[in-house]
Every structure is written in structure tokens, then in C-alpha cells.
A and B are shown apart, each in its own frame.
Chain A
């Protein structure tokens, strides 16, 4: 088995943009020095449903420095919206929220007006002078109280092939007939991405029909398309720049209303406008992981073979849009079980629309499934790891296809060995240390493989440097570093001479950074582009007389082309271009999936082993040790991959132990709308994390053999922690987060 770590991969690259990031020279969206910039703040609704009766903006408009107060009453209008009706009518379900469109309020925290001023302070002060009158309607925001109203999503009803249709394989009575049964309900609360960098935009109109935005998002190309559509502009006339992103976790996948609002304001004022969301607005402006309730029923034989798995998930969505996520899908593919039934429902509430948050659906679903597996293993008196091994799916039980690659058994073995799983005493509350209850827990993880068509341009210039470009993103994983590594290996040029450009919509097409698809998609494009560039360079070299370069012998290393048989001969790449009188050699290539998608089932797999200590008196849980092991195909750059895994584990610790957005349903408004009350892990919460990869290329997925890592890093973590807490305390917590009152 191949196991990669810092010792075995000392050539692992440091982050190519690490220095500008830590020295503060990296420019984030809100930091672009744009001339004549106006500053804006959003005013948001303080009711959850109803109508705006009036907006008293007189004092604000007369306040020093104020340039405009914009609302539905005077918005220049978004050309892509249909004309507003009089009186306003609620938009049909499936309509993205339209900013400053009409007087209707759909959720608490909805943008209702915007103040634009010469300075941020002036805008803020003026905003405090505005009063808004509402006609309040009865709202429904309480998930538990409204659960009976959940239903199959309209979009699923309309689509026979939707994966969210009710699913079944095998015998529906299998659960009833099972020798041993577990039935339980698992709940996760609403959780927010809350990246350190708040969402921000600077919108600049260059004339009537050209727009440039510096906008925090996870996909410059999709933002470009979206803004072009909204403002009826030619796509190429919209430039979106998002070179540096201070974390996003999914909050930047969509173009949100605040972005449109800033573009509108800039249009109205004919000058650049900046908008930075305050932390409290980050709770209602850019989506969240939806409140989800899951019922799981598992049956097994006494000797530990799964005979039935029924999984029902219901997620929260807004009144105007349907957000669906993979909650119940993993259950169909994860274990070799002949009888599996899943249902997925949505509950429309008077809240803003949720969105994808790291490991969307899978992190939620696998919390329930892997908790239930643990409950069953306990009921069967079988070691939780052994139970999973006994039910390992050697082929995809859902699609009846072979896996493109699966090294989950190796993950279990490597992880268990490193963690010392064999030292676990089976009984709950049986292990103690320094007066603390000690728990060992584990969980499996999986994440589907996503690859989208991607392009990359690779340019070799005569001075010996390489520029590789793609309109991909880096929300934190180190995209540029990984791509540099890929290019360097193929082109035989040292990483220091390679520059990778991203985050700019004028670059070659690439998908947004989501669904762990960047390395599989863009990495493949960079690979084929660099291979094509290499072929071109070799061909040019072979045309130079006197060098005796043999096509089947040629290689590139350290910026030189030579025959493998004669390392001292050959020619430098620069001289190749000089000979041909070329300034540069350039290629642009596209890479995408083919028929292999129908021949193989493609997933990443992994597992987490976690030790927690629980105070028997105060119920405080501290994660003391984590070993995480993943099979994501070939690892491109160990150091940045490891950081990504660590970040995922930290996110999982937050999900398990502290993250919860709590709403006061009398107002339909979050009471946890700051960092005082919405807790994310601090350093002291994140212990030693050992990261292990089964570093085997998956030859069926793409030319680089690499699958994504971002999501699988968090999937299963919450379950592993909950399972460890059960082992430590004997208490099974099925509703996250696991706070002290649930344990004392």
C-alpha cells in the first residue's frame, strides 16, 4: 500500500500564494483600489413575512455624504426580471429572490433598501435614520412545528429521472423481518458557512453596456453568465474578478441578491460602488446548510449482515425556491445491502434559501447513516469497524456497476493502525483518563465524483517561464499550487518559473470551485494542455538539425530537452524558441468526461477515527485526536491536500459540537447572528490530526487519476464524533450540536 506523508513527499510544494496571503499583499474583492468609489450598506427586513408599507428615507437622504437611498420604490430595475405586478404577487416557487423588486417580504433579513454614500461611515449613519413600515403577515419558520407539511419537491414531481424520487431496491418488508432493528431520528440544525472574509463586491460600469465586478464568489464564469443575463449584457462585456477568496465553503456558488444590489447601485449612480456584508448579514444573505430531520431504520442479521436500510430525509427550504441536496443518496451506495428504500422531502418555510455547504447533503446524511451503523454495531455486540468491513460494498449496489476504484478497506486498515483502534474497549464508559471519560469513534465517508468540461491555456515563453491559465478558483485549497505542480512535472520546468492564473472570467472556461471538482476537472485540463505544449516543444526541438533528438527518446527536465540516452546533450527550451524565432509557444486544450461515466461508478471513500474526552461532571466534549484516511486517487500535492483535510475535520468538529443557527420563531429571526453566539472551532478545539491518503491513481476517472478532496474531508466527521461521545458516555446524541446540556 502506498501511503504518502511529508516524509515520503518532501518535494511537496508550499502554497504559491502563501507569501502574499500572509503578508497582506493579496488583494481581496473589497480591497481593489478603484477610483471615485462610493460605499453602500444594505438595510434588511426585521419581519419574516408581509409587505413594506412605507420607507421613510428623508432624513437619510439629507444626511451628509449620502448619494442615494435605493429600494423597490426607485430601483433602476434589473433588466432580466419580469415587470413587477401591481399589487405585488408572490413569485412562483422556483424563482430566485429578486432584489428591490416589489414590496413583498419573504424572510427576515431580506434586503429592502440600500444607502450609498461617499464614505462607509456616512452610509452607516444614514442607514440608521431610515424607518420602514411593514404590514406583517403570519410567518412559518419553525421546522419541527411544520414538519407535517413537508412534501416531495415540485421540481422532483416534474422530473421522473430525478435522483430524489422515492427509491427502492429489494424487499420493502425486509426491515420488519429483520432479526435486529434500529430505528432513530437524527436532526441537524441550520448551520452557516461563515468564512472569515465576508462577502463583498465592487461594481464598476464602464459605459452603458460594460460591467466589471470584483466579487467574492466561487465561480467567475457562472457569475459572469448570471450577471450578463440579469443585466442583459453580452457575456464578454461582463468581467468578473475573484482572484483571492478568504474561504467560502459553498456560500459563493450562487450570485446572491447583494451582488445584484451593488451592480444596480453602481448603475444608478454611474460610479463604482462597494458593498461589504456585515457579519450579521452573512446569516441571511448567502445561504446555509439547511435544518434537516432524518429517519433511519436499519435491519441486520444477528451475525452482522445488513438486511434493510430505510432512510427518509426532510430538509428546509425557502418559500420561493427549492434547494435539494444529497442527504439520502449515500445510503444507496455505501453498503452492500439488498433492501434499501429512500425518500426525500422538502419543507417550505418563510426563510431565505439554503445552499450547498461543504459536503452538502452527504455530511448531513452520513451523520445519520454512520450514527445508525454505530448504533447497530453496538446492538449486535460487533466492533463498529468490523461491522462496516462485513458489509463492504465490493461493487456499487445502487447502479450495479464496478467502482472506478475503491480502497476503502485500505483506508480502514491504515486509519485503524495509526489510531490504535485495537485498544478500544467495547463497552461505553469503560475507558477513562485523568478523570475524563474517553471515547473512540469512527465513521466512513464517501463523496461522489464530479468532473466538468474545463479548458486551460499553457504558454511557454522564450525567457524560460511558463504561464498556465484557467478561469478556475481558489477558495482556499491551494488550486494554483496544485496546478503548478501538475505543469511542472509534465513540462520539466521548475515550479518557481511557472505562474498559474485563475479567478478571472476572461481566462479559458472552467467550472466554479464546488463539488470537489476542481482537481478532477481543471487539473485534467492543465494536464492535457501541458502535455500538448510539451508535444509541441518536443516537435520544435526535433526539427532543429544537428541535435540528433529522437522522438521516442526525448524528454524534458530542468528546462532542457534531451535524449534519455544522453542527459548531457540536448538543448534548452529557450534555445528551441530562439532557433525558431518564436517569442512564445501557446496551447489551449479542453478536457472532459467520456463514456467511462456509464461504465464505472465513481466515488471517493475514506474514514475517520476520533478520540474524545468528556468531562463527567460538566459534559464538555473535547476532540483529542483525529486520524483521517482518504482514498481520493492520486494526491497532487501532499502539503496542501493535508491542509484541506485538516480544514474539513475542523468544519466537522464545528458541525458536531457547536455550530447551530438558532431562530426565535416568534420573530422568524436568528438570535445567533454574530460570532459571540454562532460558534465555530477555535484553535483550542482542533487537536492533532493525522492525515493519511491511499495514494493510488484512479485510472478510470481522468488523465491524472485524481478525485476531489474538499468535501470528503468533512463527510462522516460529525458521526465519528457522536459515536465517540456515545462510547465515552453511553449517551447517544442524535440532534446536533452535542452541547453540554445533552450530556449531563
Chain B
């Protein structure tokens, strides 16, 4: 890999200044993704700003929400008492991701910012608009079994990107209405989780709406009565340690067999974690029943658009939604 400078800032301000002062600097935390990207020549930053020593590790309940520091490790969050009690969906999603060793290194902020695992992105011998804008999309007419069925359009062809966001955690955070707290030279701002990541459009090289030099400080999850009827279902090619073909996060608030609140999100299907407001609406106010789940699943997958090798995701996605909902209400 290319030689690089290394800097360890003492404060958040110092960290942002360090990145801002260099045209090709990157923050590094757990490094579980960035190091791979550097080893394979996908990114070659000239300077790494190691934020591991910044005070951003805390997981604390504030008034009305749980704040999880950006440097909290995936394993710490997954096993944290409050997370398990109040947001078990998040714990499930985290446990479905990566391996024990990786979860012990990977941070919450890094998880949100991890890059796609699209094979064309990872091998510099292939064209990839995300890695090398303008080089074309290798997957568009290539092997696209793992690729997006939502959020693609005519623009997503050769000129854009059909890669999917690989995170499990993010699928749960989207369902839980989380907010990402970031800071930069212009100060702090809060980004609703659904607005954090973006669709590829004309700039497939950009995964998120985080601005240059901005740093994630924390994720905030509002309190909600979504503890009992939740499930994170990850469908993959082996029992563990594989990225999702599709994954489903469901959270239901049920009052006397009636669905009061429904949250339904999916991973492995789009350039960003995907939410289904229509399907949520269909379930809201309805009794818990398999036919309601099926209606929701059908509605969710409407508008999905298949390529040569990923048409199975339309059916698998619907089936996985039904399975996840059934499991969430204890009727699997």
C-alpha cells in the first residue's frame, strides 16, 4: 500500500482540523474496512487521522433517547444492557453482522460509513463508477446477484451504481428512527437516519450525505415501545459471517392483537438501508395476521426492479418480510 502520514488528535476539534488541513486525509477508527480498501488499492489516503483516542465511546441514556458514541464498539453496543432492554432489534442486527473478532474492532461510526462489498468495487481490474467515476458499472451487465432492486432507475445503468449498502446495524437504526449526530467546521448537525445515506444518482462515489471533514459523534435512538415484537432476519449464503442477500428489520407495537405501530426496513436491496412506509401503513391498525403480513410484504416489494441475476430478491424479500414478522409476533 501507498505510504501515508499518521496523526493521532487529542480532541474532536483537532481531528477535524487535521483532516481539513490535508486534501487527502481520512479518519480511521477500527479500520476493519478502511485497511482492506487500502490493501487492495481502492483508496490510498495520504494521511490517516486516528480518532480512537477521542472521548466518543460512551453509551448513555439521555432524556428520551439513547446516545451511542461513534467509537462504541459493535460488540459493546450489541451486549449493552440498555440496548438489550430498550432496543433489542439493534442488538440482533449487530450480532448478525461480521464475526466476533470484527465486532470487537468495528465502531458504530465506522459501521455506518462502511463501503459496499460489490465485487466490482473491490477489484481494481474491473470498471466501477463508485471507485473510479466514469469508468462504468461492472455489475450492470455483469454478475449482479448481490445487487440492488430498489433505488435504481435508468440513471443506475452503466453511468451510475447498483451496489448495496452492506451494514446490518444500519437497517435496524433506520427502523428505530435513529438520528446521526455529526460535527464539522460548520458545527454540529443532526441527520435523520433515512437521510444519512444516499442513492447513487450522478455521484455514485458518494455513499452518504456526510460532508467532507465532518465526523460522526454519536447515534441517538429515541425511546419507543418497540421492545417485544421485533426481529432482525438476515438471509445469507451460509449460517454466519456472510453479507446479506436480503435482511429484514421489523418492529411492531401491538395492543390487544392490533398493530399500533409498525416499522419495516430492509438491507441488501439498495444503495442505502431501505424503509417501506407504505407497508408500515398497511399494517398499522390491522390485527396481527399472516394475511396482513403478506399484504405488507407484497406492497413492500412493489416497485422493486430486477436485473439478470437478482430477480430472486423480489420473492425472497417478500418471503423474508413475512418470516420476520411471524417471528416477531412469535408465530414462526
A residues touching B (Cβ–Cβ < 8 Å)?
A: 46, 108, 121, 124-125, 128, 280, 435, 615, 617-620, 622, 657-658, 662, 664, 666-667, 669, 671-674, 676-677, 679, 681-685, 739-741, 744
Cβ of B274 < 8 Å from any Cβ of A?
Answer: no
Q: Which residue of A lies closest to B245 (CB)?
A: A740
The 6 closest A-B pairs by CB, nearest first: A741-B312, A684-B239, A46-B125, A671-B119, A617-B319, A684-B240
Cβ of B154 < 8 Å from any Cβ of A?
Answer: no
Q: A679-B237, A740-B235, A744-B312 are known contacts; what are 7 more A-B pairs with Cβ within 8 Å?
A: A121-B3, A657-B238, A669-B126, A671-B143, A676-B243, A740-B237, A741-B316
Q: Which residue of A lies closest to B138 (CB)?
A: A664
Most buried by A among B141, B322, B323: B323
A to B CB contacts below 8 Å, 30 in the list: A108-B125, A121-B3, A128-B41, A617-B320, A618-B233, A618-B235, A618-B316, A620-B236, A622-B239, A657-B238, A658-B237, A664-B142, A666-B141, A667-B125, A671-B142, A676-B117, A677-B117, A677-B119, A679-B238, A679-B242, A682-B238, A682-B240, A682-B241, A684-B238, A684-B240, A684-B241, A739-B237, A740-B312, A741-B145, A741-B312
Cβ of B65 < 8 Å from any Cβ of A?
Answer: no
B1 touches A124 (CB 8 A): yes
Interface string of B314-328 (1 = CB under 8 A from A): 011001101100000
Q: How many angstroms between the C-alpha atoms of A620 and B242 in the bound complex?
A: 13
**Chain A, interface SS category:** loop
Q: Which residue of A lies closest to B241 (CB)?
A: A682
On chain A, the residues within 8 Å of B123 by CB distance are 280, 669, 671, 673
On chain B, the residues within 8 Å of A667 by CB distance are 125-126
Q: How many angstroms between the C-alpha atoms of A672 and B2 in the bound complex?
A: 25
Min CB gap B268→A, angstroms: 12
Q: How many angstroms between the C-alpha atoms of A87 and B117 in the bound complex?
A: 42
Cβ of B120 < 8 Å from any Cβ of A?
Answer: yes
Q: How many angstroms between the C-alpha atoms of A667 and B138 in the bound complex?
A: 10
Q: How many angstroms between the C-alpha atoms of A685 and B236 in the bound complex?
A: 12
Cβ of B122 < 8 Å from any Cβ of A?
Answer: yes
Cβ of B5 < 8 Å from any Cβ of A?
Answer: no
On chain A, the residues within 8 Å of B316 by CB distance are 618-619, 740-741, 744
On chain A, the residues within 8 Å of B146 by CB distance are 677
A676 touches B122 (CB 8 A): yes
Min CB gap A243→B, angstroms: 28
A664 touches B143 (CB 8 A): yes
Interface string of B36-48 (1 = CB under 8 A from A): 0000110010000
Q: Which residue of B lies closest to A108 (CB)?
A: B125
Q: How many angstroms between the C-alpha atoms of A580 and B95 in the bound complex?
A: 69
On chain B, the residues within 8 Å of A108 by CB distance are 125
On chain A, the residues within 8 Å of B238 by CB distance are 657-658, 679, 681-682, 684-685
A617 touches B322 (CB 8 A): yes
On chain A, the residues within 8 Å of B44 by CB distance are 128
Q: How many angstroms between the C-alpha atoms of A435 and B319 in the bound complex?
A: 14
A671 touches B120 (CB 8 A): yes
Q: How many angstroms between the C-alpha atoms of A617 and B235 in the bound complex?
A: 10
Min CB gap B321→A, angstroms: 9
Q: How many angstroms between the C-alpha atoms of A684 and B3 in the bound complex?
A: 39
On chain A, the residues within 8 Å of B126 by CB distance are 664, 667, 669, 671
CB contact list, B276-332 vs A, under 8 A: 312, 315-316, 319-320, 322-323, 332
On chain B, the residues within 8 Å of A125 by CB distance are 1-3
On chain B, the residues within 8 Å of A669 by CB distance are 123, 125-126
Most buried by B among A121, A124, A125, A617: A617
User: Of the candidates B1, B243, B323, which one forms a contact with A615 in the assembled complex, judged by CB atoms under 8 Å apart?
Assistant: B323
Q: How many angstroms between the C-alpha atoms of A372 and B48 in the bound complex?
A: 58
On chain A, the residues within 8 Å of B319 by CB distance are 617-619, 744
Min CB gap B239→A, angstroms: 4
On chain A, the residues within 8 Å of B138 by CB distance are 664, 671
Q: How many angstroms between the C-alpha atoms of A666 and B145 in the bound complex?
A: 16
Q: Which residue of B lies closest to A129 (CB)?
A: B2
B323 touches A617 (CB 8 A): yes
Q: Which residue of B lies closest to A434 (CB)?
A: B332
On chain A, the residues within 8 Å of B332 by CB distance are 435
On chain B, the residues within 8 Å of A682 by CB distance are 238-241
Min CB gap B2→A, angstroms: 6
Interface string of B124-160 (1 = CB under 8 A from A): 0110000000000010011101100000000000000
CB contact list, B191-243 vs A, under 8 A: 233, 235-243
Q: Which residue of B lies closest to A672 (CB)?
A: B119
Q: Which residue of B lies closest to A125 (CB)?
A: B2
Min CB gap A742→B, angstroms: 9
On chain B, the residues within 8 Å of A671 by CB distance are 119-120, 123, 126, 138, 142-143
Q: How many angstroms between the C-alpha atoms of A653 and B138 in the bound complex?
A: 31
Q: How many angstroms between the C-alpha atoms of A554 and B155 in the bound complex?
A: 88
On chain A, the residues within 8 Å of B117 by CB distance are 676-677
Q: How many angstroms between the C-alpha atoms of A619 and B233 in the bound complex?
A: 13
A744 touches B143 (CB 8 A): no
CB contact list, B1-60 vs A, under 8 A: 1-3, 40-41, 44
On chain B, the residues within 8 Å of A739 by CB distance are 237
Q: Which residue of A lies closest to B99 (CB)?
A: A682
User: Of the candidates A657, A666, A674, which one forms a contact with B142 in the assembled complex, judged by CB atoms under 8 Å apart?
Assistant: A666
On chain A, the residues within 8 Å of B1 by CB distance are 121, 124-125, 128
B125 touches A744 (CB 8 A): no
Q: How many angstroms between the C-alpha atoms of A739 and B125 in the bound complex?
A: 27
On chain B, the residues within 8 Å of A666 by CB distance are 141-142
On chain A, the residues within 8 Å of B145 by CB distance are 741
Min CB gap A624→B, angstroms: 11
Min CB gap B3→A, angstroms: 6
A744 touches B315 (CB 8 A): yes
Q: Which residue of A lies closest to B44 (CB)?
A: A128
On chain B, the residues within 8 Å of A124 by CB distance are 1
Min CB gap B264→A, angstroms: 16
Q: How many angstroms between the C-alpha atoms of A689 and B146 in the bound complex?
A: 32
On chain A, the residues within 8 Å of B141 by CB distance are 666
Most buried by A among B125, B239, B319, B323: B239
Q: How many angstroms between the C-alpha atoms of A280 and B119 in the bound complex?
A: 12
On chain A, the residues within 8 Å of B320 by CB distance are 617-618
On chain B, the residues within 8 Å of A618 by CB distance are 233, 235, 316, 319-320, 323
Min CB gap B119→A, angstroms: 4
Q: How many angstroms between the C-alpha atoms of A741 and B40 in the bound complex?
A: 30
B240 touches A128 (CB 8 A): no
Q: Which residue of B lies closest to A45 (CB)?
A: B125
On chain B, the residues within 8 Å of A677 by CB distance are 117, 119, 146
On chain B, the residues within 8 Å of A673 by CB distance are 119, 123
Min CB gap A562→B, angstroms: 56
Q: How many angstroms between the C-alpha atoms of A720 and B142 in the bound complex?
A: 33
Q: How many angstroms between the C-alpha atoms of A618 and B145 in the bound complex?
A: 16
Q: How many angstroms between the C-alpha atoms of A685 and B142 in the bound complex?
A: 29
On chain B, the residues within 8 Å of A657 by CB distance are 237-238
On chain A, the residues within 8 Å of B315 by CB distance are 744
Min CB gap B114→A, angstroms: 12
Q: Which residue of A lies closest to B2 (CB)?
A: A125
Q: How many angstroms between the C-alpha atoms of A684 and B236 in the bound complex?
A: 13
Q: How many angstroms between the C-alpha atoms of A618 and B244 in the bound complex?
A: 12
Q: How many angstroms between the C-alpha atoms of A666 and B137 in the bound complex?
A: 13
Min CB gap A344→B, angstroms: 29
On chain B, the residues within 8 Å of A740 by CB distance are 235, 237, 245, 312, 316
CB contact list, B88-132 vs A, under 8 A: 117, 119-120, 122-123, 125-126
Most buried by A among B123, B126, B233, B245: B123
Q: How many angstroms between the C-alpha atoms of A573 and B117 in the bound complex?
A: 64
Q: How many angstroms between the C-alpha atoms of A676 and B243 in the bound complex?
A: 8
Q: How many angstroms between the C-alpha atoms of A54 and B312 in the bound complex?
A: 44
Min CB gap B298→A, angstroms: 14
Min CB gap A177→B, angstroms: 41
Q: How many angstroms between the C-alpha atoms of A108 and B243 in the bound complex?
A: 26
Q: How many angstroms between the C-alpha atoms of A657 and B236 in the bound complex?
A: 11
Q: How many angstroms between the C-alpha atoms of A150 and B302 in the bound complex?
A: 44
Q: How many angstroms between the C-alpha atoms of A280 and B126 in the bound complex?
A: 14
